[in-house]
Structure 1
């Protein structure tokens, strides 16, 4: 784990509680994590263990009950050094694909004269070259998520927070976007904190995987992923390697241990 003074993102002893004092529910308890510059860290765990809550704290959307969050040494401010990609694209339906990206560029102070060219660059970067004039309802679910990623990249975030961004997509589209996001992050040096329920996705994307358990939410295991994933890596071939299978199996076993047993009716 990187030291606090070298981390792009640091959460220190984060605790989050809800409800009245006499009926207080602790959702997250004493969670600390650090993500180094350019690192791709994945959070996995059962529903309700606080993964999304930690992302929202890192983005500056939520204040913890106790503990501190910093992005590049400063308290997180929404829309500044962090960009967030949600499970659903949340595009503006009255704008085109290009219009959604251009809106983000305007919010981040890019001069009007530069927006059209930059919009084309960003859409090309996510595999949507020439589609800036398409309406949102003319795009597939995977294409809409690509627009959402391009819109987030418009702010040139130092830290990218991704909350199960591919969960609603079909398997083939999900695999393609996984490869593209990993390549984009590596090429740009962007720091990523990524949430998923999938052991396979976690091993494929993460350089490090943190496993959370619920009741209350806490980190119980850290898994280093030492797979070679340079430019031009054949992701399909990587999935077929013995090391990938070993890591996926090891992580899946830890995730099962961290998940509560089903409740009896």
Structure 2
């Protein structure tokens, strides 16, 4: 039976209606999000951009099931999201266990998912191949570069074969060259796997490169103020270097930058 959330269908993988998030005491709450509506279809790569404090991470946490809305409804595949079940999550920092090897980190995740021990070595090798780190299962995490550690974090998120991947500024701490390389690899990987992605960034260039649709957020309170569809070629075999240098890429980046500045 075909997946109802397969790419190309009009099924809402993520469906938020009137979502508000508040922190702090009831008498003096801080409103992180107010009245956010968001519908993400299968296979979309949706990027959230905006200034610090506009609620991008809070919105991501609602979709992941880490936060419950103070008002409104949040559904992932028609159900209230629960941590670990709603999606694979990649954070700003890799958050790996430093006392475990690369394979040990992935094996731990696979064990939590109920994968039999006898099958884990093959799955670990497959995951590392997928993120471009073959043969690294026996290495310690502290022996890896920052970019390599983020690849391991991505492999861990992919271990559950999620149809939805949530990424919270995963490349912000990396050098420019590593960041560009991982941007291209995530873009290609999402296209090949047909994964639905919700990605947070401050960068207009990153948003245009990765997104099939970009949502611009503003603060006080956090809300979506603009939407920009990105019509760039998203096939997995796209020459991303040529895409970055294209006039259309420059036009979209400029338009998004102007929108973000208000």
TM-score (norm 2): 0.95
Is the contact made by 2:17 and 2:36 (CA closer than 8 Å) also made in structure 1? yes
The partner residue of 2:212 within 207, 219, 225 is 207
Deviations 1:148-193 (A, max 9, x none): 0001100111210000000000111111111111111111111100
Is the contact made by 1:18 and 1:24 (CA closer than 8 Å) also made in structure 2? yes
RMSD of Structure 2 on Structure 1 (CA) = 1.0
Segments of structure 2 that go 5 or more residues without pairing to the other structure are 1-9
1:21 Cα offset (Å): 3.6
Aligned: 1:102 with 2:85 = no
Match of 1:30 in 2: 35
Q: Aligned with 1:81: secondary structure?
A: coil
Is the contact made by 1:120 and 1:129 (CA closer than 8 Å) also made in structure 2? yes
Match of 1:58 in 2: 63
Separation in 2, partners of 1:33, 1:23: 27
1:40 Cα offset (Å): 0.3
1:13 Cα offset (Å): 0.6
Is the contact made by 2:20 and 2:70 (CA closer than 8 Å) also made in structure 1? yes
Separation in 1, partners of 2:66, 2:256: 30
Deviations 1:105-138 (A, max 9, x none): 1111111111001100000100000111110111
Match of 1:74 in 2: 79
After TM superposition, what 4+ stretches of structure 1 lie above 3 angstroms from structure 2?
A: none
Q: Which moved more, 1:5-14 or 1:206-215?
A: 5-14
Match of 1:178 in 2: 183
Match of 1:154 in 2: 159
Aligned: 1:246 with 2:255 = no
Separation in 2, partners of 1:150, 1:103: 12
Is the contact made by 2:165 and 2:197 (CA closer than 8 Å) also made in structure 1? yes
Segments of structure 1 that go 5 or more residues without pairing to the other structure are 258-265
1:236 Cα offset (Å): 1.0
Deviations 1:45-97 (A, max 9, x none): 00000000001010111111001111100110111131110000000001111
Match of 1:145 in 2: 150
Aligned residues between the structures: 253
Is the contact made by 1:161 and 1:192 (CA closer than 8 Å) also made in structure 2? yes
Separation in 1, partners of 2:148, 2:253: 28
Is the contact made by 1:17 and 1:65 (CA closer than 8 Å) also made in structure 2? yes
Aligned: 1:233 with 2:238 = yes
Is the contact made by 1:208 and 1:223 (CA closer than 8 Å) also made in structure 2? yes
Is the contact made by 2:191 and 2:234 (CA closer than 8 Å) also made in structure 1? no
Is the contact made by 1:81 and 1:158 (CA closer than 8 Å) also made in structure 2? no
Match of 1:40 in 2: 45
Aligned: 1:85 with 2:110 = no
The partner residue of 1:196 within 183, 196, 201 is 201
